[in-house]
Amino acid sequence: MAYLGYEPSKVAVTVGQGVIDASHIEDASITTADLSNDAVTANKIDDDGTGFQMGSLGLGGAVSGSEKLTVTGTSSFSGAITGNLTGNASGTAATVTGGTQASITSAANLVTVGTIGTGVWNAGAVTSSGSIKGSATGAGRILNETASATNPTLNPRNDESSTGIGGVGSSVYIISNGTTNSTYSGTTATFAGNVKLSSSASVICTDTSDGSDNKMLTIGGGGAVANTGRGAFIDLYGQDHASNAGNLDIVAGDSGRVRVMCGTNAGTTALSVASDGLRHLNFWSITTLESR
């Protein structure tokens, strides 16, 4: 097509001010337009300071469904974000206000957590790859190790890893400096050493009350009681026992005898009753005692 002079697209068209305004441009009549760099400024978008609103906006991707703003790709925000945030977020600091515990559905791979003032673990296990311990000197510690009869995993003091409570199966062990002190299995307690009572009026008795003293207390020299094949034992019966009310039974083992001793250390046998029932008296000891 021939033109007189230059083609229209090759020259600039200058229109006087106010000749073409919004009333002369039909909706959707401009499909593309090139704007100079920084031509659109904040005061041109919001010239009266009342804000700029649009139905929805997609940056780097299309808006989907009822979303008002869709940002696809990495984004940075210098101000506060109000509302729910979905997707990944990174930064050096984040403050969540007004969020309840139920609002946080999951949080994985937290490298560090600051001071937690108060809180309740409602459900699920707390798993740690290391130990959990108190920060105070002498506070307790939970070790992430295999518990045993000599390796405690619950330490009363965080600076004493070999002293505390261990366990094997259903048995609980009290461990002192890597050595088993006592074992608790079911209703049985086993002590590795001596049992000393510090009270000036110590008592070993059953838990019955006056008028209902119907239990018995047995002390045995072997690994079982009420069996002379295992050694000697003593039975002490309460006053209300059904069959042996108030009895004190001193029973020797099959190969032993009942002896009453006196004197220093090993002592001298004052009375001895053999398994055949024969009584043997040390008359010299009796005479000596009577002369006193």
Instruction: Scan for tokens 């139920």, then name that residue.
Output: 102
Q: Say how far apart CA 237 and CA 243 lie, in whole Å.
A: 9
Question: What pLDDT is recorded for position 93?
Answer: 67
Q: pTM above 0.85? A: no
Question: What pLDDT is recorded for position 21?
Answer: 63
Which neighbouring-strand residues pair with 176? Answer: 179
Q: Say how far apart CA 22 and CA 7 lie, in whole Å.
A: 27
Mean pLDDT by 10 residues, the chain (292 residues): 57 56 66 74 72 79 83 79 72 66 67 71 71 87 93 93 94 95 94 92 95 96 90 95 94 86 69 66 46 36
Cα first-last separation, the chain: 153
Q: Which two tokens stand for residue 78?
A: 């210098």
Question: What pLDDT is recorded for position 82?
Answer: 76
Let me know the angle formed at the C-alpha of 121 by 120 and 125, rounded to the nearest 5 degrees.
165
Q: Say how far apart CA 140 and CA 157 lie, in whole Å.
A: 5
